[in-house]
Structure 1
Amino acid sequence: MDKPSNFHVARNGLAFAFRLADVSFLIAAFFIMLSFHEVAFDREYFLLLMAELFFYLYLAESISIYRSWRLSSFLYVLGLMSTVLVVSFFILITAVFLFKQGDYYSRVVMFGWFSLSMLLLVGWRLLVRIVKRSMRRNGYSLQKVAIIGMTQSGTNLYQELNENIELGLQCVGFYDDREPERINGEYLKLLNGSIDKVVAMAKKGEVKKLYICLPMLAEKRISNIIHQLGDSTVDVLILPDFLLKNLMHARIGHVGDLDTISVFESPVHGMKNFYKRTFDILFSSLAIIAISPVLMVIAIAIKLTSPGAVIFKQDRYGLGGERIKVFKFRSMTVTENAAKVTQATKNDSRLTSIGGFLRRTSLDELPQFFNVLLGTMSVVGPRPHAVAHNEEYRQLVAYYMLRHKVRPGITGWAQVNGWRGETDTIDKMEKRVEYDLAYIRHWSLWWDVKIIFKTVFKGFTGNNAY
C-alpha cells in the first residue's frame, strides 16, 4: 500500500458554514436581481443559477478557498474568493455566448448579479473578520506560539503575526541559546530565554505552536529539539532560511516513502495549470474576436507603408526553455533573428514609418494572442526575450532562466511596473528578472486579472516603450 505524504493542508473547522454562506448569498443576489428587474424565474434561469453555483464551487474547492484563515493574510483570502467569482462568471458568460443564449438572458440581471454577489461575498467575510479581530483582541480563540531562533526568518515571522491579527496567533517571545550581546536587532527585548526553556514550556502545554527558525546549518540542534518534543502535543513547524528567497514556491511532494521540497519547479502545476490554460484560451479567443478589425487595419497599413511581410516570427524561449516562434506585427525594415540581435532604441533608424507608433502603443504585440491560443504563450507571464539576449543574460543575471518555468506572456508584472523596453544595463535586466520571479513565486489567477487591468490602463505605453 502506498504511503501518503506526511504533509497536509490545514482544514478550516467552519468550512461547511463558509460554503453554505457563499451559496446562500449567490442565490440571494440572483433572486434580488430578478425581482428588482421584474424578470420571471423559469427553467432557463434555473439552469443559469445551477451552472454558476457549479462553476463557483468547483473552482473554490480546487484552490482551497475554504481552508483555515490562520494560514493566510485576509487580503489573500479575499483575492482567492474574488478570483473564483470573476473566473466563474467569465466561464458562465462564455458558455452562454457559445451556446447562443445571450439574447434570452438579461444583461442587466447578469451584471447586477455579479456585482451584488461580489459585494455580499466580500461583505460577509469583512464582517466575520471584524468579529474575529475584536474577539482576538479580547484574548478569545488565541493560540500561543513561540519562535526558536532570533534570526532574520524569525523576525520576519514575528512581523507577519503582528500584522495579521486575524490569524489568531499570539507570539509569547523568542528563545535562543546565544548570549544577548551576540544578537543584534530591535526585537532583543522579546528574547525570553533559552531553547531548553521553551521546550519545557511546550511539554507543559503552555504554547500551542513552536516555530523553529534556526539556520539549516544547525541541523543537529534542530533534530535534537524535534526529538525532545516527541513526547509533547505541541505543533512544531520549521521555517528554514536555506535559500529561502530563491525558492520558486517550496511545494511539498514525495518520491515513494520520501518527502521532498521543490526548489526550482513551476508553481503552476496540476489544476492550477488547468485553470491558467483555460483562462488563456477563453480570454485570447474573445480578444481575437474583439480586436479582429484592428488587426486587419494594422496589417493593411504595414503592407501599404513598407515592403516585406506583415507578421514577423521571432525565435524565443518558451516553457521549459524550448524554442518557440513568437508572432509580432513587423515594425522594422529588418527582421533580425540571428545569433546577435540589436535591441530597439529611441528614434531607431530601423523603424518603419508606422513602426514607432506600433511599438510605443504595444500594438505590434497583438498577434501574440494567436500564440496564446496555440499554447506557446500565456496572456500574463514573463515577456519572452530574443534567443540571443537569453544566451547573453543567462550568464550575467542570477536565476535568469527560472523565468522559463512558466509560459511567457503578452504582458507581465515587470512590464506594468515600468521594467520594459531596452535593457541597456545589467541593473535593468536584473530588476526585470526580479519582478518576473516574484510573479512566478506568488502566481494566482487573481494576480493575472490584476495585471491585465493594469496593462489596459498603464501598460501599453511608457517612457521605455520604443
Structure 2
Amino acid sequence: MNSPIKPKGPLYPTNLSDQPQVIRLHHSKILALFRALDGLLILIMLWLVLRVLQIEWGSAYAALAMGAVITFGFFAEGNEIYYLWRGYSMTSLASRIVIAWLLTAMMILLAFSTLISFKKLELEPVILWLTLTPEVMIAMHWARRVILAKIRSNPSEPRRVAIVGANDLGARMTKSIADTPWLGYRVVGFYDDRISGEQDDRRIDMSSHGVPVSGDLDQLYTDAHAGKIDIVFLTLPMRAEFRIHSVINRLADTTVTPYVIPDVFNFDLLHSRLTCIQGIPALSIYDSPLVDNSLVKRLEDLVIGLAMLIALAVPMMIIAVGVKLTSKGPIFFKQTRYGMRGEHIKVWKFRSMTVCEDGDHVTQAKKGDMRVTRFGNFLRRTSLDELPQLFNVLSGSMSLVGPRPHAVAHNEYYRGQIKGYMLRHKVKPGITGLAQINGYRGETETLDKMSGRIAYDLEYIRNWSLLLDLKILWGTLFKGFVGQHAY
C-alpha cells in the first residue's frame, strides 16, 4: 500500500511576512447605513412638509428631493461627515452637517430661481423643508452616538485597552478614549519598562490622567495571556523600532489586537492627511487643504469676488481718477510676488508711491516714508490700494483669503530666517488673511513681527475650511482695513 504523499512544506506559512502584506481601510457599516438614512430622511422630510401643508407631491417636488439627495451627498463627502474620524465631538459633526446642508440649500435656491420646472414649486414648503431637515438629521446622528455609547459601554462585554508607553502620546490617547465613550473602550493601564525620572527619557507621571502604570512589558504579556486585555495601543517613539517589533512578536502568542500609534506629532504637521496606495499607508506631513477642496475654494472666489467687484466698481473708478490727478505715473502698480507653489505672479495695486519698485531690492514702506504720496497714504491706511487684486482673484492667481503675498526680495530673505516660511505658499495668496485680522497688517520691521504673521498663516492652512474663510472675510470688515502699522 502506497504511503500518502507528504507536502514539501507546511500547509500554512509560519512567517506572516512571507505573504504579500496590505493594510485595509476600516469601513464602518453603521456610517454606511446612516449615509443611506440621511438621503432617505431628505425625501421623507419634504414629503411630510407637503403632507402637513396639504400640497400635492408632484414630479417637480420629486426632482427637487432627488437633486437635494445627490447634492448633499457631494457636500457631505467634502465635509467628511461619514468618515471614520473617531473622536470628533458632536458639535463638530453638527457643524459639518450644517455646512453641507447650507451649501445644498444654496444650490437648491439657485435652481429654484432659474430652472423653469422648479418655478412650479411653492416657496413656503421649500423654505420649511430646508430649515427643518438639518435639525432632524443632527438629532438622528446624536441619537446614534448615544445609543452606541450605551451598547458599547455594557460591562458584560468590555473592550479593555492597554497602552504601551507612559508618555505624552499615551496620555493624549487616554484623553481621546475618555472623550469618546461611544467607542466602548476602557483603558485598564499603562505598561512601560522605563524608570520614571530618567534623563533623556520621555516617560511621564500618569497619575494625573487617572490611569495607573500597571507594570513593565513582562506584566503586559502576563495580563494578555490571562485574558485581561483585548486591545493594545503602542505609543512608543518611532526611534524605538526594535522594542515595537519585540512587543508585537510576543503579543502574537496571545489573542489581543495590537495597534501601532506612530508618534508623528513630533513633526509640525501642516494639514496632514492619511491616504492608502494599494494597501500601503502614507501620511503627509506638509500638505495643502486645496488638494481636495480646490473647486470649493475657486467657486467661493468667483462668486464673492465677482459680487465685490460689481459693488466696488464705482469707488474703484473714483480712486483711479484720484491716483491720476494727485501724482505722476500709472494708475496701477504691478509687483512680482510669490504665488502658490512659489510661482511668480504679478499682483495688482493702485499706485500709492512715486516709485514702482519691483526687483531684487524692495524697501518696505515705513512711517513718514517720503515715497508715499498724500493720496497714496490714505489708500494704504484704508487698504483701498489692494482693491485691484480682485482682478488677481478672478484670474485665479490669488484668492480672497490666504497668506498675504510678499515681494520676492522679502521672500528670499525671510525663508532663511524663519522655519517653515515657504509652507505659506501651499495655498494661493489672499487679499486678506488670518494674520491681518489679528493685528499683523502693514510693516513687519522686526523678525518677531514677521514670525507672528507666518504663525497665523500656517495656522490658517492647518485649519482651513470654508467657514473659516467666511469668518475672516467678516472680520476684515471690522479689523482688516485699517491698521496702525500700515504706512
In the alignment, structure 1 residue 120 sits paired with structure 2 residue 142? no
Alignment of 1:49 with 2:65, yes or no, is: yes
CA contact (8 A) 2:165 2:234 kept: yes
What is the match of residue 336 of structure 1?
357
- Pair 1:385 & 2:406 matched: yes
Q: Distance in 2 between matches of 1:79 and 1:4?
A: 41
Q: Which residue of 2 aligns with 1:454?
A: 475
Deviation at 1:290, TM superposition (A): 4.1
Counterparts of 1:141 and 1:449 in 2: how far apart (Å)? Answer: 46
Structure 2 vs 1, CA of residues 352 and 441 (structure 1 numbering), >3 Å: closer, same or farther? same
Q: Is the 8 A contact 2:60 2:117 kept in 1?
A: no
Q: Hey, what does 1:220 align to over in structure 2? A: 242
Q: What are the residue-to-residue correspondences of 1:13-412 with 2, within 5 Å?
A: 13-27=29-43, 30=46, 43-68=59-84, 70-94=86-110, 113-129=129-145, 143-182=159-198, 183-185=203-205, 187=207, 190-202=212-224, 206-230=228-252, 232=254, 234-242=256-264, 244-253=266-275, 259-269=281-291, 271-346=292-367, 348-412=369-433
Does the residue aligned with 2:334 lie in a helix, a strand or coil? strand
Give the percent of matched residue pairs that are identical in Structure 1 and Structure 2: 38
- CA offset digits 1:5-61 (Å, max 9, x no partner): 944553333224423443355446556777899987655554343323211112223
What is the alpha-carbon distance in structure 2 between the residues aligned to residue 4 and residue 447 of structure 1?
44
CA offset digits 1:418-453 (Å, max 9, x no partner): 333322222222222222223323333343344334
Whole-angstrom distance in 1 between the partners of 2:339 and 2:441: 18
CA contact (8 A) 1:56 1:88 kept: yes
The alignment partner of 2:162 has SS state of strand
Give the Cα–Cα distance (whole angstroms) in 1 for the partners of residues 236 and 356 of structure 2.
54
CA change 1:43–1:458 in 2 (3 A) is farther
* CA deviation string 1:226-260 (max 9, x = no partner): 22334555443333335634233443456778654
The alignment partner of 2:435 has SS state of helix
Cα drift, residue 111 of structure 1: 5.5
Distance 1:376 1:260 in 2: 30
Judged with a 3 Å threshold, the aligned counterparts in structure 2 of structure 1 residues 140 and 375 are, in CA distance, closer, same or farther, namely: farther
Question: CA distance change for structure 1 residues 346 and 218 in 2, over 3 Å: closer, same or farther?
Answer: same
**TM-score w.r.t. length of structure 2:** 0.79
Report the TM-score, using the length of structure 1 for normalisation: 0.83
Listed one character per residue, the Cα deviations across residues 133-162 of structure 1 (whole Å, up to 9, x for unaligned) are: 666777698643222112222222323333
Conserved in 1, the CA contact under 8 Å of 2:159 and 2:230?
Answer: yes
Secondary structure at the residue paired with 2:323? helix
Which deviates more, 393-402 or 88-97? 88-97
CA distance in 2 between partners of 1:301 and 1:8 (Å):
64
Shift of 1:384: 1.6
Q: In the alignment, what sits opposite 2:14?
A: none
Does the 8 A contact of 1:70 with 1:166 survive in 2? no
Which has the greater radius of gyration? 2
Query: Distance between the aligned counterparts of 1:245 and 1:49, measured in 2?
Result: 46
**SS across alignment from 2:365:** coil
Question: Alpha-carbon deviation of 1:194?
Answer: 1.4
May I ask how many residue pairs the two structures share in their alignment? 463
Call closer, same or farther: CA 1:330–1:236 in 2, change over 3 Å. Answer: farther
State the Cα RMSD in Å: 3.8
2:259 partner letter: L
Gaps spanning 5+ residues in structure 2: where?
A: 1-18
- Residues 90-142 of structure 1, C-alpha deviation per residue, up to 9 Å, x if partnerless? 34445556769998777776665544344333344445445556667776986
Q: Which has the higher contact order (CA 8 A, sep 6+)?
A: 1
Instruction: Name the SS of the counterpart of 2:233 in structure 1.
Output: strand
Kindly indicate whether the alpha-carbon contact (under 8 Å) linking 2:43 and 2:66 is maintained by their aligned counterparts in 1: no
- The amino acid across from 2:337 in the alignment is R
Q: Give the match's secondary structure for 1:192.
A: strand
The alpha-carbon distance between structure 1 residues 376 and 90, as it changes in their structure 2 partners (threshold 3 A), is farther
Shift of 1:72: 2.9
* The one of 466, 480, 483 aligned to 1:445: 466
Measured after TM superposition, the shift of residue 76 of structure 1 is: 3.2
Cα pair distance change 1:115/1:152, threshold 3 Å: same
Worse overlay, 40-49 or 385-394: 40-49
Q: Would the aligned equivalents of 1:377 and 1:410 in 2 still touch at CA under 8 Å? A: yes
The 1:434–1:36 alpha-carbon spacing in structure 2 relative to 1, beyond 3 Å, is: farther
Counterpart amino acid of residue 318 in structure 1 = G
Deviates more, 1:379-388 or 1:344-353: 344-353
